[in-house]
Structure formats: C-alpha cells, structure tokens
Amino acid sequence: MPTRYARYALETKLRVVEVARRGGVWEETAEHLGVNYHTVRAWVRQHMMHAEDVRVRPRADALEHERGVVVVPQTVKNHVDGACFTLKRMHTEPQYMNPMRNKQKWREYLAQLQQYQAMGKTTLYMDETNFNL
C-alpha cells in the first residue's frame, strides 16, 4: 500500500539537523537534498526542543562573552555532570508555590539560619543524594 508521505533516510535527516545545529543555512541543504521545507522545519524544531545541549548552550555563550573563553556546549555539559549537577526544567505547581504555610516555614528557616551564621557556624546544603551543593 503506498504511503501518503515521503520517507527519508536517517542520514538525510541527520545531515540537515547537523547543519542547523552548527548555525548553517539548513533551508539550502534541504533544497539540495530534495526534502520538503515543512518536513525539514519540523525536524529542526524537534531537534532544538529536545536537544541535550539546549540548556548548556547559553552557559557556553556566557563563558565566551564574560571570560573570552570559547568552549563547545559538550564541554560545559561534561563539567556540569562531573560536578554532580543535573540540568532539569523547572516544574511548578501554582497551588503549592506560595501558600501561607510555606511562607511561614521559610521565614522560620531564614531566622534560624541567620542565628547560626551570627554564631559563626558553617552552612552546608545537602540534597537527597547527600552531596554537598
């Protein structure tokens, strides 16, 4: 049974996405390979939304801008992974964000923290995995 949509080889898709990832003109590459513009645009959009380096690329750009150090996003990701951090998107639930109970707990925590700091105690922040952040 014939399909309604054209199928493209994985190599074709990867080639176009790689051109887009490097900042090249992916439209020309798609035209040269004979792939529909809308199909390629969907590939590029999907890659940009789900690419691993979407969240580390701004950090790499900031290093270049602030320090003059040119690094690829993979280097930043490797260092972040080595420091035991995970980059996740913020997931918030509005009904739990700032109820009065949480504000009171936060106020008590800060008051106690300031007392400890006034006594000269060192503050360690621990997460569920017991790594000092």
pLDDT in tens, 42-58: 888 887 766 655 567 77
| 103, amino acid identity | K
Cα–Cα distance for residue pair 2/18, rounded to 1 Å: 30
**Count of alpha carbons within 13 angstroms of residue 113, beta-carbon side:** 9
Cα–Cα distance for residue pair 70/63, rounded to 1 Å: 7
pLDDT in tens, 55-74: 677 778 888 888 888 888 77
Cα–Cα distance for residue pair 113/107, rounded to 1 Å: 10
Cα–Cα distance for residue pair 56/75, rounded to 1 Å: 9
User: In this predicted structure, what is the pLDDT of residue 97?
Assistant: 76
User: What's the DSSP call for residue 83?
Assistant: T
Residues in the chain: 133
pLDDT in tens, 82-123: 655 555 666 777 777 788 888 899 899 999 999 999 999 888
pLDDT in tens, 14-30: 888 888 888 788 888 88
Using alpha carbons, select from 55, 51, 27, 53 the residue that is nearest to residue 41.
27
Domain ranges of the chain: 10-50
Q: Are 57 and 37 in contact (CB under 8 A)?
A: no
pTM recorded for the entire structure: 0.38
